[in-house]
Amino acid sequence: SDRPQLMTMNELVGWKNSLIFSPFNDVWKRQRRLFHQVIGTRSSLMHYDAMKEVVAANFVANLIEEPQKMEEHCHTFAGDLILRVTYGYVSKGYDPMIKMAEEITDAASEFGAPGKWMVDVLFPFLRYVPDWCPGAGWKQAVKEQHDNLRKLVNTPYEWVKKEIDEGQAGPSFVSELLSEKGLSDGDLSAIKWSAAMLFAGGLHMTVWTTYAFMKMICLHPTIQDRAQAEIDRVVGSDRLPLVADMDDCPYTRACCLEALRWHVVFPLAVPHLTMENSFYDGCIFSEGAIISSNLW
């Protein structure tokens, strides 16, 4: 399947270069291949287990010290985890890098609301209207979103490139991919954009899934007690749980999965576009139909 292309978001702002909004083309295939190469299998994800454990320990310490700031701690936890995995960047509290990504993605979500701009739904030729023309104020909003997106894509990427040049880069999605020889300009662009989407998309999903789990477990003390008893039995009382303990804690794992089901962060996801006439469950979807899957 393809993706519907909005004139503002995809063409003018530039989101068509990202895996999430890209049409089914070589850009999409190249970035999808990078994701599978570095984080697409359980064995590849194991390389980041130590990072997860450090960030989780920091999260617990923050909750103990300032429980009234639980929502902020969820942002800090998710941001620190995603930044370490993606760029090898160790954040400092509610880091400016985290705030930058959240502000830019929130603004992009509001900007890209379906039907908000006439250039998307009625008059595509408006893209050629000069900036000074009356009624072209929307083009300033496009420019702001374009600049924000470039900031999101380039700022952390340039940071990790500098770390690599100085021999100080730790393991990460970007540093592993940049270590390969003979990278073309297309490869470098794919690495930069795929990293930005991992950062922005992973941050948003992880923040609110973590927050949903914390709310759910607090509202159901009986379930909390049962999960705690399982962890105490497997882990004991002299250390924190590790990723390696997960298979021995099926009830606690089920609680985490239930948070994903109970509170779907992005229930309609990003719309798809059929590339040919398709048939499913007795229904006909014509070529060019826009389809949104309801995860609820």
Q: What does the domain layout of the chain look like in residue ranges?
A: 7-204
pLDDT digits (tens, 9 = 90+) for 126-164: 888 888 888 778 888 888 889 999 999 999 999 999 999
pTM for the full predicted model: 0.87
What pLDDT, on a 0 to 100 scale, did the predictor assign at position 264?
Answer: 85
Structure tokens, 262: 């109970």
CA 16 to the chain's CA centroid: 16
Structure tokens at 14: 């530039």
Give per-residue pLDDT as tens, 1-55: 788 888 888 888 888 888 888 888 898 899 999 999 888 888 888 889 999 999 9
Whole-number pLDDT of residue 82:
95
Identify whether the C-beta of residue 72 lies closer than 8 Å to the C-beta of residue 94.
yes
Higher per-residue pLDDT: 125 or 48: 48
* Residue 113 reports pLDDT greater than 80: no
Q: Is the pLDDT of residue 106 over 80?
A: yes
Distance (Å, rounded) from C-alpha 238 to C-alpha 254? 24
User: Rounded mean pLDDT of 117-129?
Assistant: 79
Q: Is 114 helix (H, G, I), strand (E, B) or coil?
A: coil
- Cβ pair 1, 292 in contact under 8 A: no
215-257 residue pLDDT tens: 999 999 999 999 999 999 999 989 999 999 999 999 999 999 9
Of the pLDDT bands very low, low, confident and very high (cuts 50, 70, 90), residue 119 is: confident
Give the per-residue pLDDT at 12: 86
Handedness of CA 24, 25, 31, 37 (dihedral sign): positive
Q: Give pLDDT tens digits for 49-83.
A: 999 999 999 999 999 999 999 999 999 999 999 99
Domain 7-204 CATH assignment equals 1.10.630.10: yes
Average confidence (pLDDT) over 273-288: 88
Q: Which of 70-103 are b and which e, b meaning 16 or more Cβ less than 10 Å from the residue's Cβ?
A: eeebbbbbbbbbbbbbbbbbebeeebebbebbbe
- The 10s digit of each residue's pLDDT in 166-191 is 999 989 999 999 998 889 999 999 99
Q: What is the pLDDT of residue 22?
A: 87
Residue 272: per-residue pLDDT: 84
Average pLDDT over residues 89-95: 90
Q: Which amino acid is at 177?
A: L
